[in-house]
Amino acid sequence: MKVIVAENAGFCFGVKRAVKIALDASKRGKVYTLGALIHNPPMVQQMRKKGVIAVNDFEGLDNERVIIPSHGISPLVLKKIKPKIIIDATCPFVKNAREEAVKLSKGCDQLIIVGDKKHPEIRGILPFLKSNVIVVKDASEVPNKSFGYCGIIAQTTMSETIFQEVALKVSNRSKSLKIVNTICDATRKRQSSTLKLLKNVDVMIVIGGHNSANTCRLLELCLRNKKLAFQIEDETELKKKWFKNCKKVGITAGASTPPWMIKRIREKILSLD
Ligand code: SF4
């Protein structure tokens, strides 16, 4: 059995940067992140051992050092942690999407964000905007009405296909439309590498946190293209039956999947042959 890893898979620029910031800070003692620093439970667990602790709120952590995760946090939450020492690991692409959203929301009648309204990145953007905003997860959620001057942006980890589908639907209903594609380069590359690889293999293994938006998009991409695919966080989730009569296995991985996990899973698949 041959196992091929996608050309672009695993850690992206923003995640590498956040991990480095957190590990450097942890050399001077414990640091705390609100929720996971990155959406990869095995990596979060490993970092905990090094003193990077994920918490659900900052209650009782006065005067501790607090890290803003790569996907950012809401300014309303940020206000509450003002007296503490804040280390900002927000990815520059997330900040850019936020700035574009603010500009568009000021200049148009209706701003549409293509993303998940519950995701921390979107929750971090919304408080900066005027009230003329709707968040849609795909084209089916675009309201059935006409728009005046409309703007569209995307969550940085959104699927290119879904973003295009929403833009097309809105363009047919708006007087004027400004599209700012804020999907980050890392997401785009992981999606195109996955698409390229899935055409040449029998089954795809998608590695990454079940809470990772960009990893879930990679699984969706495989399934939309009618490829047998499974998403796992670590090697214990692999099942031998997935590889029955299989000659080529493809591996892709979300932007918060560490390289050591990709290696470990690749070796485990080979050992099942
Ligand atoms: S996926 Fe994109 S936006 Fe998210 S951390 Fe990586 S580079 Fe930044």
Domains contained in the chain, CATH given: 2-9+186-271 (3.40.1010.20), 13-91 (3.40.50.11270), 93-183 (3.40.1010.20)
Task: Tell whether the model's pLDDT for residue 62 goes beyond 90.
Answer: no
Catalytic: 121? Answer: yes
pLDDT on residue 271:
95
pLDDT of residue 131 exceeding 80 = no
Q: How far is the CA of 14 from the centre of ligand 1 (A)?
A: 5
Across all residues in the chain, what is the average pLDDT? Answer: 93
The count of other CB atoms within 10 Å of the CB of residue 240 is: 9
Please state the rounded mean pLDDT for residues 172-197: 96
pLDDT, one tens digit per residue, over 2-47 is 999 999 999 999 999 999 999 999 999 999 998 889 989 999 999 9
- Give the binding-site residues of ligand 1, using a 6 Å CB cut-off: 12-15, 70, 91, 93-94, 156-157, 184, 186-187, 214, 255
In this model, does residue 74 exceed pLDDT 90? no
* 111: β partners: 133, 151
Helix (H) or strand (E) holding 154: strand 147-154
Residue 83 has pLDDT above 70, yes or no: no
pLDDT for position 50? 96
Q: What per-residue confidence (pLDDT) applies to 77?
A: 81
Q: In this model, does residue 82 exceed pLDDT 70?
A: no
pLDDT at residue 218, as a whole number: 97
Distance 145 CA to ligand 1 centre (A): 33
pLDDT of 71 > 70? The answer is yes
Q: 78: pLDDT confidence band, cut at 50, 70 and 90?
A: confident
Give CA angle at 161 (156, 162), nearest 5°: 70
Pick the residue with more confidence: 39 or 60?
39
Question: Measured in angstroms, how far is the CA atom of residue 215 from the centroid of ligand 1?
Answer: 12
- Nearest atom of ligand 1 to the alpha carbon of 157: 1
Q: What is the pLDDT of residue 137?
A: 96
> Residue whose CA is closest, atom 2 of ligand 1?
184
Tokens of 75: 């300014």
Crossing angle (nearest 10°) for helices 41-49 and 13-26: 20
Nearest protein Cα to ligand 1, atom 8: 14
Q: What one-character DSSP code corresponds to residue 128?
A: G
Active-site choice (64, 99, 121, 237):
121
The first and second tokens of residue 187, run together, are 């997401």
pLDDT attached to residue 29: 93
Residue 80 reports pLDDT greater than 80: no
Give the span between the Cα atoms of 59 and 149, in whole angstroms: 43
**How much distance in Å is there from the Cα of 246 to the middle of ligand 1?**
33
